[in-house]
Structure 1
Amino acid sequence: MNTTQMEALISMAAVLGLFVLMTAPAVIGILRDRRIDRQLRQAEVAPVTEPPDRPAASRPEHRAAPRRHARAA
């Protein structure tokens, strides 16, 4: 393999690598949307059941302590 062919092969690999990097987020987004659509279709078909009541001791209080957020120094 001579130098010209090697340079052409490296250039082609670089272009293919950039193409994959540029299209990967779009492909991941499409797959994620399809998964969400499938879950929504399954939720429409599934029967609605009421969750069982929890005992009063395990219910959270309405006056729970507020969450404290970190502050910048």
Structure 2
Amino acid sequence: MTRKKIRIWIWLQSDNKIFKAVSKPDEGTITVYDENDRMLIKRTGLTKEQIRKIEYCFSNYGAKRMDGHKEPFTFL
């Protein structure tokens, strides 16, 4: 069984709210959640290049990439 590539990004907004993004390059999706795990936005049908560019923006704005085996908010 192959393991799917999932990347989790966490960042703090200026109003002290925590956001989480989950990107799945193999499926072409990025989903953004608020601190209560409510889905805010979901984009599908993205190419791997588009996902790479979006993730680059995440890192430029201070998002931290989490290990896929951790609970998303344990680093706080």
TM-score, normalization by structure 2: 0.22
User: Which of these two proteins has the greater Rg computed from alpha carbons?
Assistant: 1
TM-score, normalization by structure 1: 0.23
Q: Name the structure with the higher strand share.
A: 2
Q: Name the structure with the higher helix share.
A: 1
Higher normalized contact order (CA 8 Å, seq sep 6+, divided by chain length) = 2
